[in-house]
Amino acid sequence: MIARRHFLQASLATSALIGASGFGNWSRLAAQQTLSQDDLIGPDGSGNVTLIHITDIHAQTQPIWFREPEINLGVGDVAGLPPHLTGDAFRKAFGIEKGSAMDYALTYDDFVALAKTYGKMGGLDRISTVVKAIRADRPDALLLDGGDTWQGSLPALRSNGADMVKLFNALKTDAMTAHWEFTLGLDRVNEIIEGEFAGAFLGANIFDATWDEPAYEPMTMVERGGQQIAIIGQAFPYLPIANPSWLFPDLSFGVRQERMAAVVQEARDAGAAAVVVLSHNGFDVDRQMAANVPGIDVILTGHTHDAIPEPVMVGQTALIASGSHGKFVSRVDLDVQSDGVKAINHRLIPIFSDVITPDAEMTAMVDETRAPYADEMAEVVGRTSSLLYRRGNFNGTWDDLICNALISQREADIALSPGFRWGASLLPDQDITREDIFNVTAMSYPNAYRTEMSGEQLHLIMEDVADNLFNPDPYYQQGGDMVRVGGMGYRIDVSQPQGSRITDMTLLRDGTPIEPDKTYNVAGWASVNEGTEGPPIWEVVEAHIREQGDVSIDPNASVDVAAG
């Protein structure tokens, strides 16, 4: 049998070259099926300073399937702008050929067929190979991790993030910022920062809530290419709202635009020739911050899991979006002189796991972190005949499965599942292992609650979450996607203001309208309230899959979307 790696390399027809950030080149290469490791990593870089950006890996150390969203609506000024492009619009904007490798990596269409052609993506040992190759060219390249690193898998959950800290130390991570990290609890985060993580932990917008003063280092200054480079961290602004604040009491976050402007100024005053923001704001928030805060050369964006093949320029600021789950690594080469950044080159390097050779050292280290849980993770729980994925503004089949599990196992009328954007996909006709279930559920507040809610309360929740996603002012958006709903259909008009977006809420069981005064049994998980009771969601999902044996998810037709 010919390994896919060999197949892809064997058909090398010409010595194709990839330009610095070339779009047309990607499609030409892919059309010729000429992917090789060297093509993916690319030629030596330009300039005198190199940044390597990894973000939102969500503790995925193994190659995975990951389907990008079919629906990713932008509202207000950002409608139709990257990253709010999917399918044909995405391919057209970036000159990507349908059916090509980059099409598979960056869009949703024909996902199952293309997945079989191009294979899984990611894997920390492949990422390590890419990082080492970049460092062979530029030994002092800075490795910057945008956060959401210590959460999202069974080993990360069980080891309280210790596995990922160890592995990212091995990658020689220079600095990171955070979001889900804080859901491990404040004491654990501080323990890691003080004793385990070898890089700098940065968050200019993390404050002590009582004293309103900085709680963590805002930035680090390093000399590269003979120039001072400032790396400023920006943690997820809405941690105490989107995640349980009782896990990190007394910390306050927020966008804090004035604070960012002050820290940028401080960096410039201290002689920074280049200012890089390592951000977990989410793309639209970063776009607005770049427009409002002068003096930032590069924002390495995160949180919203967007992969964009070229920098998005906002004035003089380049926004880089490096995807999620280890699917991509960004290489950013800067030409930095004493009077500023003269040029920027960016490569979004797709980690095709069958093309890039694993770094054996990292493979061994990853295996070591997984060994204590290997048997538990490998246990087959059932099988799926449907593609299971998570991304999309309104639903994903993984979430449909979770909602079905909540309704059947918790005997509820309606199920709510948070609009998380993390979680690997599964192809049809694949076994579902316990590891697969944890890849979409592993977190520190997993209790599956069951409660009574009035129709009015349900509507309030739907409107509140919708506004967090579709408020036309990005600073009022929290990222994530719309709460997933089982057992209830609704219509949403994203162009309306809060309170008027959600209509036609219907109980699917009998087709009756949801009545404001009537009480419904609602099951859900990941409540931000302290003391939430119920079994962990992975037990609920596992029990449901075992009962089903073979899981099949019908296309979800219960959300009617009007985009205005």
Partner 1 sequence: MIMTRRKTLATGIGAMGAALFVPQLAMAATTEEAISAFTGGATPGEGDLTLTAPEIAENGNTVPIEVSAPGAESIIILAAGNPNPDVATFNFGPLAGEQSASTRIRLAKTQDVVAVAKMSDGSFIQAKQEVKVTIGGCGG
- Phi and psi torsions of 407, nearest 5°: -70, -45
Q: Closer to partner 1 at the Cβ: 264 or 465?
A: 465
Using CB under 8 A as the criterion, which residues of the chain lie in contact with partner 1 when the complex forms?
A: 180, 190, 193-194, 201, 208-217, 236, 238, 240-243, 245, 250, 252-255, 258, 418-422, 460-461, 464-465, 467-468, 471, 473, 475-476, 478-480, 483, 498, 526-528
Q: Closer to partner 1 at the Cβ: 133 or 215?
A: 215
Q: Closer to partner 1 at the Cβ: 274 or 526?
A: 526
Beta bridge partners of 312: 319
Q: Closer to partner 1 at the Cβ: 208 or 368?
A: 208
Q: Closer to partner 1 at the Cβ: 94 or 449?
A: 449
Nearest distance, CB of residue 74 and partner 1, angstroms: 17
Nearest distance, CB of residue 292 and partner 1, angstroms: 12
Nearest distance, CB of residue 338 and partner 1, angstroms: 30
- Phi and psi torsions of 268, nearest 5°: -65, -45
Q: Closer to partner 1 at the Cβ: 361 or 473?
A: 473
DSSP state, 517? T
Rounded-to-integer distance, Cα 435 and Cα 426, Å:
11
Look at residue 307 and give its three-state secondary structure. Answer: strand
Sheet of strand 380-384: strand arrangement: 430-433, 380-384, 550-551
Nearest distance, CB of residue 521 and partner 1, angstroms: 19
Look at residue 374 and give its three-state secondary structure. Answer: helix
Beta bridge partners of 298: 276, 318
Nearest distance, CB of residue 468 and partner 1, angstroms: 7
Report whether 183 contacts 420 (CB < 8 A): no
Rounded-to-integer distance, Cα 513 and Cα 529, Å:
29
Report whether 308 contacts 22 (CB < 8 A): no
Q: Closer to partner 1 at the Cβ: 372 or 497?
A: 497
Rounded-to-integer distance, Cα 405 and Cα 411, Å:
9
Nearest distance, CB of residue 61 and partner 1, angstroms: 20
The tokens of 485 are what? 């709903």
| Extended beta strands in 243-398, E state | 251-252, 274-279, 298-301, 312-314, 317-321, 328-337, 340-350, 380-384
Nearest distance, CB of residue 376 and partner 1, angstroms: 25
- Phi and psi torsions of 136, nearest 5°: -65, -35
